[in-house]
Amino acid sequence: MAKTIKFNLILDGKPVRTIEELQENFCIDDILEFYHKGLLQKWLRVRGYENYLKKVEAISKDKSAIIEMIKIFGLEKSEKEIREAVYSLEFWEVRKIEIEEWYKKELKIKKIIADYHNGYDVLKANILENKKDMPFMKSAAREIFDKYFEIFKVNFLEFFNEMKNSAPHILFAMMMQKQYRESELFSAQHKNQLFNLIPQPMNEGKIQKHQEDTNYTWKKITSKMVMIKNINNSSGKVKLKGEGQEYIPQKAVNIIFKKGFEFYSYSSSDFVEFAEVSINNLPSPYKTFSGDTEKYWKDLEPKGSKFMILKMESGNFIRNAGKSGEELNADNINKNFTILDGIDYKSNSDSDLLIYMEV
């Protein structure tokens, strides 16, 4: 016959082998724990306390269990002591339930926060993946404001620095939307950095040099589109002419002549340096215009459509379509990302380029 393995109960930190030791070290919390786990019943069985076991197994598993066990094990407790013990037990049971509920709520909150951060990270990844899709950028900008603006505000600098190098269109899309402009997150410094991200459609070739004494006569140097880079005016007589207009050296540097230029000098040390240039169309979503409007307003884009002006050159003017009396110059426009309702444009230059986007 197999030998029964006996074990001790640990009540109030002390090993218990007999009913007497159980009575001496009776601890409500420990007894209830062993009772609910079935260890108390097993201990009574292996120790041979069958009478006690029958009484314990007959207890209804409710809040009166501890009262019944106090009676079963013959503890000398007054009614007041019993009530206090039961009250303490009930208090800690309620407290335990509250803690469990709080823990469940905490886990739920943590999951909500984790889902929130994960959603923001997924959206950022989608922005990087679709960085050339401007309609998606506009939609993503709205979603960030509607769903993730609190985390976006905290991480704005990190977001800006990452996107300006990897997906600048999302930043332009944000500048199109009123809520971002009113948030004032984009400081003058950020706008300046964003302005510098506007692509340049002009390609410059190698700098060429023409040095000659033309003896007070005009000489055609080239018929190609060029940008004047530098002029040496030793004689004090140097002039350039292009597209029917003459320029003194101080005014000619950085001028673009679409149809080439003529050179006028009176010293063998007089020279002009220039580079051939070509203007490429910018890819969508950028829109461009260049042309001499002969000092008249040109209806460039219709009223009823919104456009964000990215860049224009000095000496030209722009306004909301049909808005008489309005005349915005380069200082008003550049680095401000002005939104216009339609575009009227006025320029006296064939080469100056206006760059904008449709909102």
DSSP 68-115: HHHHHTT----HHHHHHHHHHHHHHHHHHHHHHHHHHHHHHHHHHHHH
CATH of domain 202-279: 2.60.120
Domain limits, the chain: 9-77, 120-195, 202-279, 286-358
Cβ atoms of 348 and 295 closer than 8 Å: yes
Q: Which of 210, 297, 322, 217 is nearest to 264 (CA)?
A: 217
* Residue 1 binned pLDDT confidence (cut-offs 50, 70, 90): very low
Q: How far is CA 77 from CA 55, 59, 72, 82, 257, in A?
A: 19, 19, 12, 6, 109
pLDDT per position as a tens digit, 291-349: 889 889 999 999 999 999 999 988 899 999 999 999 999 999 999 999 999 999 999 88
Task: Note the pLDDT tens digit of each residue in 149-201.
Answer: 999 999 999 999 999 999 999 999 999 999 998 888 999 999 999 999 998 87
Q: What is the pLDDT of residues 155-164, one digit of tens each?
A: 999 999 999 9
pLDDT score at 2: 58
Q: Which residues contact 147 (CB under 8 A, 6 or more apart)?
A: 119, 120
Cα within 13 Å of Cα(150), Cβ side: 4
Question: Mean per-residue pLDDT for 113-117?
Answer: 78
